[in-house]
Amino acid sequence: MFLALLLAAPAGLWLALAARERPARSEEFPAALERASWSADQALALAPARQAHAAQAAQSGALIAARVKEVQGQFVLAEVQSPIIEPDLLAYALSSAPLGTELPAGSWLLGAIGDAARGRCLRLALPEAFPPGELWLAVFSLAHGEIVASVHVQG
Amino acid sequence: MGHAYRAVQWNPFKRRYDACAAALVLLYLGCFVGVTAWLEPEATIESLLIRGFGTAGFLLLHLVLSIGPLARLDARFLPLLYNRRHLGVVTFSLGLVHGVLSLVQYHALGVLNPLASLFQSQVGTRTLAEFPFQPLGLLALAILFLLAATSHDFWLANLGAPLWKALHMSVYVAWFLLLMHVALGILQAETSPLLVALLALGVTWILGLHLLAAWRERRIDSKAGASSDWIDVCAPAEIADGRAKIALVAGERVAVFRYADKLSAVANACQHQNGPLGEGRIIDGCITCPWHGYQYKPDCGASPAPFTEKVATYDVRVERGRVLVKSAPYAPGTRVEPACIPAESMPRHASSAASEFFVGYLPSAPPGVLRFVRGAALAVFVLAAALGCALAASQRTFAAGRFEFGQLRKFSGVIALEPATSLLLQRPGFVGDQAAAHSHYLLVAPGKHGARDLVQAFDGRWVEVEGTLVHRAGQAMLELKPGSIVALAAPPDGASSLAVSPKRRALGPVTLRGEIVDSKCHLGVMNPGELAAHRACATLCIRGGIPVLFLARGSNAQQRQMLLVGSDGRALNQEVLALVADPVEITGELSSWGDLLVLAAEPAQIRRISH
């Protein structure tokens, strides 16, 4: 019997693997679905009004650790220690002073995640002059408008 | 050897053997879990452990099944055979951990008894790909349990070697069931060719080894002498001193041993586990089995006192320079006068019988055997580490979903029952139109239960709730802490008067392809919480009232998740059970309720796609 089972094993394996189904995919998403997506413009429009929340979060100590991995010209790649809630649409504020004390007007920017699947790296666009020393960030999920993290980056 | 019951007859070799087995398992688990956690930070610890223990057990079973034929092909592998039963028990233990974790993870805390769920949750079985693979694993585990429980010599002595051996051959049934469990389970979702190649390689290895060993055994049997009362075995000089020649006598294998100038013949099968006595040695005047060192006196086939094992004996004589064995055996333990080898038939030079022979219970192993075993163990360790890393790296990327297990948060918002049980949260600092004024946090109860019953009384009211956040790709969910819902008399400070329910905005008819998933697992409680391997769990969750999501997939790995409801807005939970995790195409009306996408369709508009 054991020999019969041994011989049946390759056949069983072949049948099971041949039966595998690929996930169903649409050729392209209909326009209706695309219309429902959040646009970057919408997100940017919402960002400035969240300054007060950034300050509030910073005062409550909602900070997560981060470190600058790389500075590439105008961009900074910062790695945060905790996963962030919304990896796709983020806004962030940059300041050379701790959050809660000052957030310069117009400091809100849109951020993109370097590796969305990982959700741990933020690629941030710097203002014209990169402030020396410490750099403070406030990061928001734009999809839900919550504060995700205030990130204290060692410049 | 033992003549009285002892739980384990420990000796230094067994201790080293078990220490190596434990280190091997830990090394594999460390590599698998470590590399997966490093490459896939979003993978949940439960998934890591379930996969780690499952693959460890399955790989160890391959090792267990390899040792027998390897030892048949090369006697230097015999030390690995000596304590193989402990490896079998470890295999079962790993499978048990995998099984219990899987049962708890995928089948507990639902509306069905976990075992009932295991057999019922996979509702539709229209194709082989939908075959319920989990019961196969349970059946294999039951067999492995039976084998582990009867692995002790107590059962061997009570059942008798033939029955015990036949029972333990069912390990091949368990192996076959596990092979199908893997192929019809995780490999229906995982796409790496390496995983398929490794599984096929495992089958080829096991099959090839066994066929090779069987071919070698058949060669021995093909040398059977002509059928008569006395069977010609060989010339006396062909048998090395202290060793045996195996011959087929009346359909049974007989071992003819030479010791000095004497010859004795006994049945070849050891009474312990049917080990090949003819491949053993004469040690301390006794035939010593190569498998576990059981001993028999050559002239009577009885173990020395106080042991009681006995094997059949045969008449032997030397005639015209040939060793002849009588085909009729004596009852086990019957003394037979050994045949004397005439001086002219004795070998002229010393035989080469000095090759090393391993007996597990002796204080030290021969150095050559020890070297070989160390080399083999090292190779297995390297292989385990390599396989742990390779399997970990070959897994489908885990989604960036997250379940903040153990972290309770408080939220204030308005309870909404349509289009799904949700908490509407005002977006902080919001400016813009009302359609984007709030976020829908889907609400669920702990376990695999919806939250409708918990929040129904609060429909449309401001509440404060406490719960654990689950989130993925723009959609959040809150697992409510039971009893934490507090109705608020007025909106909290700073909250504007919130529209009780966002306006529905029709986006038009759509036809989309993808998969029906349960929202809780998909958003992050299980990771991965989709595709065939997760079907049973998703079915149980949806059966228990967890909101149904449709995961639309487009080309280039695009994905959009949306709530799936009936055309009249009703929950479809009980109507789509047979389609969960299948590749489907849905035609329906798409709409947005604030940030929530909703696809309204009737079950008749959901079509299963066959590739």
> From the candidates B61, B133, B170, B203, which should be mutated to test the interface with A, based on the most A CB atoms within 10 A?
B203
Apex B364 CA angle, B363 and B369, nearest 5: 145
Number of residues assigned to chain B: 611
Number of residues assigned to chain A: 155
* B235 in any annotated domain: no
Beta-carbon separation of B436 and A53 below 8 A: no
Could you tell me which of B324, B59, B57 has the C-alpha nearest to residue B201? B59
pLDDT for B322 equals 92
CB < 8 Å to B180, chain A: 12-13, 16
Say if B204 is an interface residue toward chain A (CB within 8 Å): yes
Give residue A118's pLDDT band: very low, low, confident or very high (50, 70, 90): very low
Could you tell me which of B179, B103, B236 has the C-alpha nearest to residue B536? B103
Could you tell me which of B45, B477, B478, B402 has the C-alpha nearest to residue A119? B402
- Distance separating alpha carbons of residues A123 and A76, to the nearest angstrom: 6
Range list of β-strands (E), chain A = 63-72, 75-80, 90-95, 108-113, 121-125, 135-141, 147-154
pLDDT for B136 equals 95
Beta-carbon separation of A26 and B553 below 8 A: yes
pLDDT for A41 equals 47
A86-100 pLDDT per residue, tens: 433 455 656 555 544
Same domain, B143 and B270: no
Is 60 exceeded by the pLDDT of residue B232? yes
Bridge partners, A94 (sequence order): A137
Burial string for A140-150 (b: 16+ CB within 10 Å, else e) reads bbbbbbbbbbb
pLDDT for A125 equals 57
- Distance separating alpha carbons of residues B234 and B245, to the nearest angstrom: 8
Could you tell me which of B18, B34, B16 has the C-alpha nearest to residue B385? B34
Same domain, B382 and B500: no
Give residue B158's pLDDT band: very low, low, confident or very high (50, 70, 90): confident
Is 90 exceeded by the pLDDT of residue A36? no
Q: Is the dihedral of CA B502, B504, B510, B511 positive or negative?
A: positive
Bridge partners, B257 (sequence order): B244, B264
- Cα of first residue to Cα of last residue in chain A, in angstroms, is 69
* B230 in any annotated domain: no
Lowest mean pLDDT among A109-123, B445-459, B488-502: A109-123
Say if B311 is an interface residue toward chain A (CB within 8 Å): no
On whether the CB atoms of residues B323 and B233 are closer than 8 A, the answer is: yes
On whether the CB atoms of residues B253 and B246 are closer than 8 A, the answer is: yes
- Distance separating alpha carbons of residues B439 and B422, to the nearest angstrom: 9
pLDDT for B471 equals 79
Lowest mean pLDDT among A74-78, B45-49, B350-354, B532-536: B350-354
pLDDT for B123 equals 60
> What is the token pair recorded at B261?
């100038």
pLDDT for B282 equals 92
Apex B578 CA angle, B573 and B580, nearest 5: 70
DSSP string, B39-57: H-TTS-HHHHHHHHHHHHH
The 8 Å CB, 24+ separation contacts for B134-138 are B134/B102, B134/B106, B134/B181, B134/B185, B134/B536, B136/B177, B136/B178, B136/B180, B136/B181, B136/B184, B137/B95, B137/B99, B137/B102, B137/B177, B137/B178, B137/B181, B137/B185, B138/B99
Same domain, B251 and B372: no
- Chain B residues 432-471 with a CB less than 8 Å from chain A: 432, 436, 439, 469, 471
Same domain, B288 and B305: yes
B355-375 pLDDT per residue, tens: 788 887 887 788 888 899 999
Is 80 exceeded by the pLDDT of residue B521? yes
**By percentage, how much of chain B surpasses pLDDT 70?**
91
Beta-carbon separation of B210 and A3 below 8 A: yes
Characterize the bridge pairing of strands B449-450 and B438-445.
antiparallel
pLDDT for B522 equals 94
A56-71 pLDDT per residue, tens: 555 555 555 556 666 6
Residue B202's contacts (CB-CB under 8 Å, 6 or more residues apart) are B62
Give residue B10's pLDDT band: very low, low, confident or very high (50, 70, 90): confident
* B233 in any annotated domain: no
> From the candidates A2, A34, A103, which should be mutated to test the interface with B, based on the most B CB atoms within 10 A?
A2
Angle between helices B84-102 and B133-149 (to 10 degrees): 140
Residue B305's contacts (CB-CB under 8 Å, 6 or more residues apart) are none
* B362 in any annotated domain: no
Bridge partners, A150 (sequence order): A63, A138
Q: What stretch of H or E contains B417?
A: none
- DSSP code at position A149: E
Beta-carbon separation of A33 and B471 below 8 A: no
Bridge partners, B323 (sequence order): B234, B318
Is 60 exceeded by the pLDDT of residue B141? yes
B557-585 pLDDT per residue, tens: 788 899 999 999 999 999 999 999 999 99
Same domain, B448 and B484: yes
B71-106 pLDDT per residue, tens: 989 988 989 988 899 999 999 999 999 999 999 999
pLDDT for A115 equals 41
On whether the CB atoms of residues A72 and A124 are closer than 8 A, the answer is: no
* B7 in any annotated domain: no
pLDDT for B353 equals 47
Mean pLDDT of B437-457: 91
- Distance separating alpha carbons of residues B42 and B538, to the nearest angstrom: 19
Same domain, B464 and B591: yes
* B54 in any annotated domain: yes
Is 80 exceeded by the pLDDT of residue B505? yes
Is 90 exceeded by the pLDDT of residue A122? no
pLDDT for B274 equals 86
Same domain, B483 and B574: yes
Which residues form the domain of B428?
402-608
Q: Which residue has the tokens 């060192």?
A: B293
Give residue B19's pLDDT band: very low, low, confident or very high (50, 70, 90): very high
Q: What stretch of H or E contains A101?
A: none
- DSSP code at position B276: B
Burial string for B228-266 (b: 16+ CB within 10 Å, else e) reads eebbebeebbebbbbbbbbbbbbeebbbbbbbebebbbb
pLDDT for B515 equals 96
Say if B152 is an interface residue toward chain A (CB within 8 Å): no
Beta-carbon separation of A25 and B553 below 8 A: yes
Give residue B489's pLDDT band: very low, low, confident or very high (50, 70, 90): confident
Give the chain B residue nearest A90 (alpha carbons): B474
CB < 8 Å to A83, chain B: 41-42, 400, 402
Give residue B130's pLDDT band: very low, low, confident or very high (50, 70, 90): confident
B93 CB-contact burial (10 Å; exposed 0-12 / middle 13-18 / buried 19+): middle
Say if B215 is an interface residue toward chain A (CB within 8 Å): no
ipTM: 0.81
pLDDT for B5 equals 57
CB < 8 Å to B439, chain A: 143-146
What is the number of structural domains in chain B? Answer: 3
Lowest mean pLDDT among A36-50, A68-82, B322-336, B499-513: A36-50
B194-205 pLDDT per residue, tens: 999 999 999 999
Higher pLDDT, B489 or B104: B104
Could you tell me which of B232, B247, B407 has the C-alpha nearest to residue B324? B232
Where residue B483 falls (left for φ over 0; alpha for ψ -120 to 50; beta otherwise) is: left
pLDDT for A30 equals 84
Q: Which residue has the tokens 């050994």?
A: B338
Q: State the smallest CA–CA distance between residue B574 and chain A in angstroms.
A: 22
Beta-carbon separation of A145 and B127 below 8 A: no
Beta-carbon separation of B583 and A45 below 8 A: no
Find the farthest-apart pair of alpha carbons in chain B and give their distance in angstroms, rounded: 115
- The residues spanned by each domain of chain A are 38-154
Amino acid in position B270: C
Q: State CA B201 to chain mean position distance.
A: 17
pLDDT for A124 equals 60
Is 60 exceeded by the pLDDT of residue B413? yes
Where residue B473 falls (left for φ over 0; alpha for ψ -120 to 50; beta otherwise) is: left
Name the residue facing A24 among B41, B175, B583 (closest C-beta).
B583
The CATH classification number of A38-154 equals 2.60.40
Mean pLDDT of A40-58: 52
Give residue A40's pLDDT band: very low, low, confident or very high (50, 70, 90): very low
* B154 in any annotated domain: yes
- DSSP code at position B83: T
CB < 8 Å to A119, chain B: 42, 400
Q: Which residue has the tokens 């995998």?
A: B98
**By percentage, how much of chain B surpasses pLDDT 90?**
62
Apex B76 CA angle, B70 and B81, nearest 5: 60
Give residue A31's pLDDT band: very low, low, confident or very high (50, 70, 90): confident
Give residue B396's pLDDT band: very low, low, confident or very high (50, 70, 90): confident
Higher pLDDT, B171 or A81: B171
Range list of β-strands (E), B555-609 = 559-565, 584-593, 596-600, 606-608
pLDDT for A106 equals 52
Higher pLDDT, A106 or B265: B265
Give residue A77's pLDDT band: very low, low, confident or very high (50, 70, 90): low
On whether the CB atoms of residues A144 and A86 are closer than 8 A, the answer is: yes
Same domain, B336 and B431: no
pLDDT for B220 equals 72
Beta-carbon separation of A16 and B128 below 8 A: yes
